[in-house]
Amino acid sequence: MPKILSIDQGHTKTDVLIADEKGNILGFGNDRDWTLVTGERRAVRMIRIRYAADKAAKEAGLSLSDIDSVSASCYGADWDFEYQVGRKNIRNTLGIQDVELYNDCIGAMRGGTETFGRDCAILCLGSGANCAVFNRDGEAHIYHYYMKGIHQGAHAIGEFIFQAVFDARSGLGEETALTRLLLRETGYSSVDELFKMITTGRTEEEKPWRYPVYKDYGPLLFHAINEGDKVSMAYLDWLCEELVKYIVIGVKKLSIGERGFDVVLSGGVSKGGNIMGERLGYYLNKRLPNARFVEARLEPVVGAMLLEYDKLYPTGVPENVMRTLEECCAARKLIRTVLRK
C-alpha cells in the first residue's frame, strides 16, 4: 500500500504526516523541540523538514526510503523559480523523488474546504499571513510577499500590542487592558521598565532587548477583548476590514464576485476567538454578499495530505477514506478548534 508523506511548513513551525492511501495516519512529527540554528534560509528549512520527517518515520516504524510520494505545502514557495528549487531541495533532503510542492496557504485551504478546484479563497493568519483566491477555471491570485507588514498575522498583532501599551503610557493613546496583560506576560514591573529594556537596557551595562518575538504575544489581544477592552476591539475591527480588502481585490481579478464561494479561514491567529471570524464575516458580507467565511476544519498538514489524495482519487476522495482519516485526525488532535467566548 503506497505511503505518503505530507509537510506543512510556515515561518516558525514544521509538521509532517505519514499516511497510507486508505486514510490511516501512521506517523506524525514536528519541529517544536528543534534547536534553532543559523544559516541560509532554504538550507535551514530543509533541516527542519528532515527533523520532523525523521520523527514521523520513527513513529510509523518506517524509513524514509519506504515513502512513495511527498506532498509539501510550504512558505518560501512563492516566486516561480522557488517551486523548482524547493522540489529539488526536498528530494535531496528526504531521498524521495516523487515530490509535489505548493504554497503554504494551499494546504491550509484544502484542510478547510471540499471545494478545491472550484471558486474559493483562503485567508491564512499564522505568524505571518497570506491570502489567495481561486476560480473553477484553475486561475489563481496569490498575494505571497505582497501582503503588507501591518497585516502579517500574529507578528503584526504583537507589534500593535507593544505600541498600544507604550502609547497609553505616554498619553498618545487610550488606557488599555493590554498594559496589565503584557506586563504580566513579560514579567516587568512597569511600562517604563519594559520600554527601557527594549530601547537602551535598564542600566549602562545592560544590553537591550532589541527584538521581541512579537508573534508570541498575539493571544493577549483576544484576552483583552474578552475583558471588554475597547482599544483591542477597535484594532481587531480595523484589521478584519483591512484583510477583507485582499479577498475583494482577488475576487474582482478572477471575476467570481457574482458566484457563491467559500473563504477558508486558517492559521493559529484565528483560533484565538470566534470574534475574529464574526468581524471578518461582517466586512466580507458588506463587500461580497455571495461569499461566506468558513473555519478550516483540519490542520494544514492534513490539507497537504488531501492534495495528494485528490491526485490518487480524481473523481473524489472516497467516503470511507475520509472517515478513516478524520478518525485518525481526531485521535491526534489534528482537527482545528477555535476558542469560544
SS3 content of the chain, % helix, strand, coil (to 5): 50, 20, 35
The neighbouring-strand residues paired with 47 are: none
Contact 109, 122 (CB under 8 A): yes
* Mean local confidence (pLDDT), 264-285: 88
* Mean local confidence (pLDDT), 15-20: 98
Return the closest-CA partner of residue 136 out of 156, 112, 120, 122: 120
Residue 132: DSSP 8-state? E
Question: Residue ranges of the alpha helices (H) in 120-218?
Answer: 153-170, 178-186, 191-199
How much of the chain, in percent, has pLDDT values that exceed 70?
Answer: 97
pLDDT band per the 50, 70, 90 thresholds, residue 7: very high
Is the predicted pLDDT of residue 4 greater than 90, yes or no? yes
Q: Structural domain boundaries of the chain?
A: 3-112+298-331, 116-295
Task: Note the CATH architecture for domain 3-112+298-331.
Answer: 2-Layer Sandwich (3.30)
Q: For residue 311, what pLDDT is reported?
A: 93
Sheet holding 291-295, edge to edge: 140-142, 129-134, 120-125, 261-266, 291-295
Coil, strand or helix at 2? coil
Put simply, whether the predicted model's pTM sits higher than 0.85 gets the answer yes
Return the closest-CA partner of residue 263 out of 129, 83, 132: 132
CA angle 218/182/224 to nearest 5° reads 65
Longest CA–CA span in the chain (Å) reads: 68
Question: φ and ψ at 120, to 5 degrees?
Answer: -165, 170
Q: How far apart are CA 321 and CA 327, in angstroms?
A: 10
How much of the chain, in percent, has pLDDT values that exceed 90?
Answer: 78
* Mean local confidence (pLDDT), 78-103: 96
Q: Do domains 3-112+298-331 and 116-295 have the same CATH topology?
A: yes
171-184 burial code (b ≥16 CB/10 A, e <16): eeeeebbbbebbbe
pLDDT band per the 50, 70, 90 thresholds, residue 341: very low
* Mean local confidence (pLDDT), 115-140: 88
Q: Which residue has the cell 501582503?
A: 147
In tens, the pLDDT along 147-173 reads 999 999 999 999 999 999 999 999 999
Q: How far apart are CA 94 and CA 86, in angstroms?
A: 12
- Grid coordinates given for 223: 484576552
pLDDT band per the 50, 70, 90 thresholds, residue 114: low
Q: For residue 115, what pLDDT is reported?
A: 54
Task: Note the CATH architecture for domain 116-295.
Answer: 2-Layer Sandwich (3.30)
